Chains A and B, each alone.
Chain A
Amino acid sequence: GNSVTQMEGPVTLSEEAFLTINCTYTATGYPSLFWYVQYPGEGLQLLLKATKADDKGSNKGFEATYRKETTSFHLEKGSVQVSDSAVYFCALSVGSYIPTFGRGTSLIVHP
């Protein structure tokens, strides 16, 4: 079956630090990959996505590159802000209507 593995949180950083949240996956077929963000008390929002190998998704300073050879889709940001504090979910969808989400990684950014 399909699965998504994210690094355990919480990730705690100071403002302007570099962020990496690791995500690896296993999937049958060729998945599309996503990062969603959940701010406190809200539903999930799509942050970025990539639909084929070597694609780079980017949004709001966040980036992730679809690496088929390492089955990874790590989320990065060069300089985090306090407002980036949230829970981040990696997810995949591979030709079915049932997506697979990771367990989520909490990010806490201190001023």
Chain B
Amino acid sequence: EAQVTQNPRYLITVTGKKLTVTCSQNMNHEYMSWYRQDPGLGLRQIYYSMNVEVTDKGDVPEGYKVSRKEKRNFPLILESPSPNQTSLYFCASGRGPLTDTQYFGPGTRLTVL
């Protein structure tokens, strides 16, 4: 089954404790991206990757890092989480950017205390 998986689905952590949210896709897609969803703000792109070892900033990259060492994986790293990073995070993949159909993961709800 074609899918994008994220782990964990739910995470409660404390300020400053480094965390990683994993994202994996099994569709051999070159393009992957991370979004955060906040009430009243819709989805905002954090980072995207056009291919292995190629990543770039989206609209709201501050406080986040990503890596793309393998085509299928695109982890999101919060080196020192802060409460304003409490949000719902989605990973997405596609053959290209939004003009190609994007497949979204189920989301990771992160709470930073």
Q: Which residues of A contact B (CB under 8 A)?
A: 4, 32, 34, 41-46, 51, 89, 91-93, 96-99, 101-104
Contact = CB atoms under 8 A, between A and B. Distances in A.
Nearest to B33: A97
Contacts of A92: 98
B3 to A, nearest CB: 10
B90 interface: yes
Nearest to B3: A43
A89 B43 contact: yes
B102 A98 contact: no
Contact of B42 (A45, A89, A96): A89
A51 B99 contact: yes
B105 A98 contact: no
Given A98-B45, A101-B43, A103-B40, A93 B97 contact: yes
Given A51-B99, A98-B48, A42 B106 contact: yes
Given A32-B99, A44-B104, A98 B41 contact: no
B21 to A, nearest CB: 14
A104 B40 CA distance: 8
Contact of B98 (A32, A43, A102): A32
B107 A93 contact: no
B43 A98 contact: no
Contacts of B104: 43-45
B106 A99 contact: no
Given A91-B98, A98-B58, A99-B98, A43 B43 contact: no
Nearest to A92: B98
A104 B48 contact: no
B51 to A, nearest CB: 12
Interface string B89-113: 0101000011101101111000000
Given A93-B98, A97-B33, A104-B42, 18 more contacts: A34-B98, A42-B107, A43-B90, A44-B43, A44-B92, A44-B102, A44-B104, A46-B101, A91-B43, A93-B97, A93-B99, A97-B56, A98-B48, A98-B59, A99-B45, A99-B98, A101-B43, A103-B42
